[in-house]
Amino acid sequence: MYFKRFVFPIVLIVTGWNTGLWAQATNQEWPAYGGDPGGMRHAASSQINTSNVNQLKVAWTFNTGELELYKGTNAAEKAAFEATPIMVDGTLYFSTPSGRVFALDAYSGTRKWEFDPKVNLKSDFSEVTSRGVSTWPGPDLPKNAGPRRIFAVTIDGRLICLDAATGKPVKEFGKNGTINLREGIGDISVTSPPAIIGNTLITGSSMGDNQRLDYEKGVVRAYDVMTGKLLWSWDPIPRDPSDAAHVTWQGEKAMLTGAANAWSILSTDPERNLVFIPTTSPSPDYYGGERKGQNLYANSVVALNASTGKVVWHYQVVHHDLWDYDIAAQPALITVQRDGRDVPAVAVGTKMGHIFVLHRETGEPLFPVEERPVPQSSIPGEQASPTQPFPVLPKPVGPRQVTVDDAWGLTEEDRERARKRIAALKNEGPFTPPSFEGTMVAPSNAGGIHWGGVSYDPNTNLLVTNINRLVAVIRLVPRERIEEEDGKPGSMRAETGWQNGTPYVLKRDYLIDFESKTISMQTQPPWGTLLAIDMNSGELKWEVPLGFMYDPREYPDAIHWGSLNFGGALTTSGGLTFVAGTHDNFFRAFETKTGKLLWQDQLPAGGQATPMSYVLNGKQFVVIAAGGHGKLGTKLGDAVVAYALP
């Protein structure tokens, strides 16, 4: 039912596709996480459309039994069912937060097989999630290229190859079907499915990045899909002095830095033999005094040659990151119009609310980007970048500068607390660095555009994305004063990032009032929106509040306030955008051209996942994982829900 109270734990951790011919097929598959290798997240079927979506009903529900595995562990606090299934050969494949892989009959939802990698959930994982699996042969190869394989990755750092028909490990791959990705690297996790291009599999990794300077290397690795042989590896931190980017890392300890890893979804362009890597912040992510300089190739989209792993081009969206501004979203390979010509592009959505549209072959911006002066750091030892890149178009989305005029609360008492808190904090606009007194970071490390990413409708040239409008509060504390700091009221509520190897400890909080009778946001709504941008003009077409966080029966205006959200949107040729992700557990359909809400249905648990769609035996299905999100505080569950017309 509706939520009267907003429960938000403090630790918020964050084309080559012929759609015309595909739409005519009786069966339409969803063979990759984003639908196609380039992650457009668009379903070509128009069977479910704006005129009949209000008739949509649950076709089947499958329960994984995942919650039983959490008993006796703290996994539920960190678990998030973020998977987007794939569908090939009439079978739906997906993974659960613990890494179990299921194969279902895609028409009836009945179980075909299950594989359990037996991850030890009593281990101390920073998050318990898996966003999906991958399959070979991919859509760039004929289906008779060989017996189908399913590739799964785990939070304890394994890459597993399964026979698609039986769910049994393929013994010829790696060591009895498994490669230990931690070997030679260290304590990494993998939370996103690998990319597959031709006979090559490419995977990144996930790791914490605010606990110490010398984190594991964020290497991206490629393997032969048949044998598991390592083909190449690429480190986003250029440790070789012959690399031109090496000089952008300055300081005696600069090469001790780790991370800059790619934990999100990779995209591939088989026609151009390119793989697009979204990289993250170097470690630690809120203090860069040990890694002065621009820090290429961190916080960049990097196009690699898929055969060799060599850099073809790169584009950095944040210089010298001090805000945990990872590129969390999958780069979307789209086509835009320029001077009457089709131009291959890659759209990169960022946590800052910036959307960079780059030429897919060169990395050159297709809309103007300006290097603008930004606030400088007051922290001894830090050297913030003097400028940052700002796209002129599309215009930035999400909150920018926060003042006392933005204070909000459910009561006047709440609003006064919000005004006092905001007045005591620092915000000089985008990219205000962390400070001793406390800096408001807007958008926060949860976005702006988060890992849910963007969807692109080629019929309307609209890019659709859902965003968060949450403000973080960041403070750096001299290490020798941390005991004194932890004795202050409210300090222990904030997340602590030890940033060992540096002089400062991180304290991260959010503008949320826990003293209010009903836990209250402290900045103006909406706190989550859905929006569409014309990719030919760069103009915002519409933006609407997404979901709600307070019970509308008690707070009627709550339907206009929006909700924090995780999980992305799906567009379809039926003129629809499907999205869940919100705190109210509703699954919704909007008209893509206008943003008008046309349909909604409450899921059995939180829908913090990106939906997908396919056609099987002439019937279109829309499917979403509904298992909740421990850190967001939504209802936990274990359901995969399929919708169809009666």
Instruction: Name the residue with tokens 């859905």.
Output: 530
How far the first Cα of the chain sits from its last, in Å, is 25
Please tell me what DSSP assigns to residue 272.
Answer: T
Is residue 159 a contact partner of residue 190, using CB atoms and an 8 Å limit?
Answer: yes
Cα separation, 238 vs 622, whole angstroms? 43
Task: Name beta bridge partners: 158.
Answer: 180
Strands of the sheet containing 528-534, edge to edge, are 449-457, 462-468, 528-534, 540-545
Structure tokens at 76: 């539920």
**Tell me, what DSSP letter sits at residue 381?**
T
Task: Please check whether residue 499 is in contact with residue 287, taking contact to mean a CB–CB distance below 8 angstroms.
Answer: yes
Report the Cα 233 to chain-centroid distance in Å. Answer: 23
> According to the model, what pLDDT value does residue 489 have?
67
pLDDT confidence of residue 490: 65
pLDDT digits (tens, 9 = 90+) for 299-328: 999 999 999 999 999 999 999 999 999 999
Q: Which of 522, 519, 529 is nearest to 440 (CA)?
A: 522
619 within 8 A of 107, measured Cβ to Cβ: yes
User: How far apart (Å, rounded) are the C-alpha atoms in residues 207 and 204?
Assistant: 10
Residue whose C-alpha is closest to residue 292's, from 386, 163, 357: 386
581-611 as b/e: b if 16+ CB within 10 A:
bbbbbbbbbbbbbebeebbeeebbbbbbbbb
Asked whether residue 97 is domain-assigned, the answer is no
Task: Give the Cα separation of 517 and 522 in Å (integer).
Answer: 13
pLDDT for res 25: 53
Asked if residue 553 belongs to a domain, the reply is yes
Alpha-carbon distance 69 to 57, whole Å? 30
Q: What tokens appear for 43 in the block?
A: 């379903």
As a residue count, the chain comes to: 646
At position 272, the amino acid (one-letter code) is R
C-alpha–C-alpha distance, residues 332 and 314, integer Å: 15
The answer to whether the CB of 320 falls within 8 A of the CB of 295 is: yes
- Tell me the three state secondary structure of residue 255: helix
Kindly state whether residue 525 falls inside one of the protein's structural domains: yes
State the Cα–Cα distance between residues 478 and 381, nearest whole angstrom: 12
- Single out the catalytic residue among 269, 324, 457, 509: 324
Residue 291, domain member (yes or no): yes
Collapsing DSSP to helix, strand or coil, 76 comes out as helix
Domain count, the chain: 1
* Residue at token pair 């700002």: 390
DSSP 384-419: --SEEEEESSSPP-S-----GGGB--SSHHHHHHHH
| Residue closest to 582 by CA, chosen among 600, 557, 598 | 600
How many Cα neighbours within 13 Å face the side chain of 403?
Answer: 3
Find all residues with CB under 8 Å of 186, minimum gap 6, and list them: 216, 217
Both tokens assigned to 213: 């300077």
**Per-residue pLDDT, 276:** 98
Residues in contact with 246: Cβ distance below 8 Å, sequence separation at least 6, in sequence order: 238, 239, 240
Residue 51 belongs to some domain of the structure: yes
Q: Is residue 134 in some structural domain?
A: no
**DSSP label at 499?**
-
Distance between CA atoms of residues 259 and 219, nearest Å: 8
CA distance 163 to 178: 12
Does the annotation count 324 as an active-site position? yes
Residue that the structure tokens 């705190």 belong to = 583
Which CA distances in Å does 73 have to 13, 69, 76? 20, 8, 8
For residue 617, is it within any domain? yes
Q: Mapping DSSP to helix (H, G, I), strand (E, B) and coil, where does residue 565 land?
A: strand
Within 10 angstroms of residue 373's Cβ, the number of other Cβ atoms is 10
d(CA 397, CA 329): 15
DSSP string, 477-488: EEGGGHHHHHTS
Range of the domain at 342: 19-60+250-644
In a domain, 438, yes or no: yes
The enclosing domain of 337 has a CATH number of 2.140.10.10
- Tell me the C-alpha distance between 494 and 235, whole Å: 32
DSSP 505-546: EEEEEESEESSSSS-EE-BPSPSEEEEEEETTT--EEEEEE-
Nearest to 611 by CA among 576, 564, 559: 576
> Which residues of the chain carry a pLDDT beneath 70?
1-25, 489-492
